[in-house]
Each structure stands twice: as C-alpha cells, then as structure tokens.
Amino acid sequence: MKRNRRPSEPALRLLRALLTAPADWRYGYDLTRATGVGAGTLYPLLERWAGQGLLASEWRPSDTPGRPPRHAYRLTGAGRVQAELWTQDAPPVAGGKLGLAT
C-alpha cells in the first residue's frame, strides 16, 4: 500500500532544488549546500526516491584527477511529475536556503 502523505520540509527543499534543473545531474554535497538539508536526511531521501524510480542515480567520474567517482542524481520523468505535484500546493518552507518565504 502506497502512502499518500505530504513530504517533510527538508524533502520539499530537496524537491525544489531538483526541479530547478531537472535534467541535470546533481551531487549530494551540492544539494546539501543548496538546501541546508543535512546528509543524514538528504541521502536516505535520495536513495528512497531512486528506489521508487523517481530519481536516476549513477556513479560519475570526478572532475579532479585522483579523486574517487561521485554518486549523482537527477529526476526521472515520473520523478519530475511527482515532484511538481508535491510542491505545487505546498507552502514555502521555513529554514534552509531554498524555498525561504520572503
């Protein structure tokens, strides 16, 4: 049975960040900086959504020689639709860097 509850504020910040450029690959570190969502919340959300088919994920080589590959994420078509549905009626979120009410 699929749950149909609203995403948390950190999830909404992450969704909004991913929607800013849905076809672009994003790294977790960059998403933490853009959203203010900590790694302990961010990575479980990314993994859950990837498992549900809402995100594509892959290991991408580092731009810096000698550095290990990094895990990158981007919205799938279904993920974009779901992210837009989840965020369209959601109020601005408090805290974090993305989605602050002004």
Domain boundaries of the chain, sorted by first residue: 9-87
Architecture of domain 9-87: Orthogonal Bundle (1.10)
pLDDT number for residue 87: 93
If one compares 62 and 96, the residue with the highest pLDDT of the two is: 62
Tokens encoding 19: 């929607």
Q: Which tens digit of pLDDT belongs to each residue from 5-58?
A: 789 999 999 999 999 999 999 999 999 999 999 999 999 999 999 999 999 999
State yes or no: pLDDT of 102 exceeds 50: no
Closest C-alpha among 56, 54, 10, 55 to residue 35: 10
Q: Tell how strand 70-75 and strand 26-27 pair up.
A: antiparallel
Mean pLDDT of the 80-93 span: 86
State yes or no: pLDDT of 1 exceeds 50: no
